[in-house]
């Protein structure tokens, strides 16, 4: 039974990080009226850091101590996350939650490429026709969702939000592969606990220098509580689950499944904002995205079976 639970955990982790990151742009857009970007990023990451430090200090103090001992590597990763998270937050202030999620799915082919180059064990799955067809279907579905009608035709508007989101896609691909490599020698939860402390310190500094720290007081207890919940679910739980899942399932595989997040984000955001509505073509793209993910899942099962036969 213990072995069965252990084999299920990576797949449960996928559900956690996909759901958590689908909620992220909804939370960020909802709180944008109460905080400016720097202060919002700080309170969300600070909440995640507090929750993870308390958990790891009581449940895995040895792993936490080991992670702090590797502070040089985690500090470098945190600088990357700091830039990525700030760009992500600012972008959502200038676009819709659904659009923000859709553009960042460009990270999928970048992660796949880096994973193919760095991790030998991922090449069999990445090279399967099911994986390639499924990932292409996911990207096609994302593009269909992203289509906007302008006048009599279709157009893509290049603005600040789009540039920032493309930057996020590139930095995320580096972070994902770097994170999997680091998690091979550090516990994923302890790893991100330390990383979140460094990122929170960075956002505190940027808030004091460039932002408005008074937002934390004027936002009120209710909004601060929402920000805390956002940090725990969308940052602490989602990132730890992601690092755990990709350690066992692979960076490329987890990133491909992350492509379902925009569709989930869209459904949730519809309850809050009318400008999140998708036309029929975009809805069909969402179904194509889900079908592609099913192919990706199938490629993982088939690839695992092939590996087991080879080992025998």
Q: Which residue has the higher pLDDT, 264 or 228?
A: 228
Percent of the chain with pLDDT over 90: 24
Q: What b/e string do you get for 41-76 counting C-beta neighbours within 10 Å, with b at 16 or more?
A: bbbbbbbbbbbbbebbeeebeebbebbeeeeebbee
Lowest-confidence range among 26-30, 41-45, 143-147, 154-158? 154-158
pLDDT digits (tens, 9 = 90+) for 115-127: 767 766 666 666 6
Token pair 């958990």 is found at 55
pLDDT digits (tens, 9 = 90+) for 190-219: 989 999 999 999 999 999 998 899 999 999
Average pLDDT of every residue of the chain: 78
pLDDT of residue 307: 42
Instruction: Say what the pTM is.
Output: 0.75
Q: Is residue 4's pLDDT more than 70?
A: no
CB < 8 Å & 24+ apart, contacts of 221-227: 223/31, 223/34, 223/35, 224/43, 226/27, 226/30, 226/31, 227/27, 227/31, 227/35, 227/40, 227/43, 227/44, 227/47
How do the domains of the chain map onto residue ranges?
A: 2-311
pLDDT of residue 5: 47
pLDDT digits (tens, 9 = 90+) for 27-76: 988 898 899 988 998 999 999 999 999 999 999 999 999 989 988 888 88
3-state secondary structure of 153: strand
3-state secondary structure of 187: coil
Ramachandran category for residue 35: left, alpha or beta (phi over 0 → left; psi -120 to 50 → alpha) = beta
3-state secondary structure of 49: helix
3-state secondary structure of 224: helix
pLDDT, average across residues 276-292: 67
């Amino acid at each position: 039974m213990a072995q069965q639970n252990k084999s299920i955990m990576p797949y449960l982790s996928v559900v956690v990080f996909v759901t958590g990151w689908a909620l992220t742009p909804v939370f960020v857009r909802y709180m944008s009226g109460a905080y400016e970007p720097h202060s919002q990023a700080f309170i969300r990451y600070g909440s995640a850091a507090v929750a993870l430090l308390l958990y790891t200090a009581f449940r895995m103090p040895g792993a936490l101590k080991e992670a702090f001992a590797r502070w040089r590597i985690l500090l470098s990763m945190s600088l990357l996350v700091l830039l990525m998270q700030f760009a992500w937050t600012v972008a959502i202030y200038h676009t819709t939650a659904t659009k923000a999620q859709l553009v960042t799915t460009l990270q999928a082919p970048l992660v796949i490429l880096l994973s193919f180059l760095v991790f030998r064990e991922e090449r069999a799955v990445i090279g399967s026709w099911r994986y390639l067809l499924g990932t292409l279907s996911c990207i096609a579905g994302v593009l269909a969702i992203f289509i906007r009608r302008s006048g009599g035709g279709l157009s893509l508007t290049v603005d600040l939000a789009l540039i920032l989101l493309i930057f996020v896609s590139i930095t995320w691909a580096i972070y994902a592969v770097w994170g999997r490599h680091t998690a091979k020698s550090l516990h994923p939860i302890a790893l991100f606990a330390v990383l979140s402390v460094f990122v929170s310190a960075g956002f505190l500094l940027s808030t004091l220098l460039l932002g408005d720290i008074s937002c934390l007081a004027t936002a009120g207890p209710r909004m601060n509580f929402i920000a805390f919940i956002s940090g725990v679910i969308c940052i602490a739980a989602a990132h730890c689950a992601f690092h755990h899942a990709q350690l066992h399932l692979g960076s490329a595989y987890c990133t491909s499944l992350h492509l379902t997040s925009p569709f989930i984000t869209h459904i949730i955001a519809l309850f809050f904002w009318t400008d999140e509505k998708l036309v029929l073509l975009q809805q069909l793209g969402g179904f194509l995205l889900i079908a592609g993910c099913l192919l990706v899942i199938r490629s993982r099962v088939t690839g695992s079976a092939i590996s087991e036969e080879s080992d025998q």
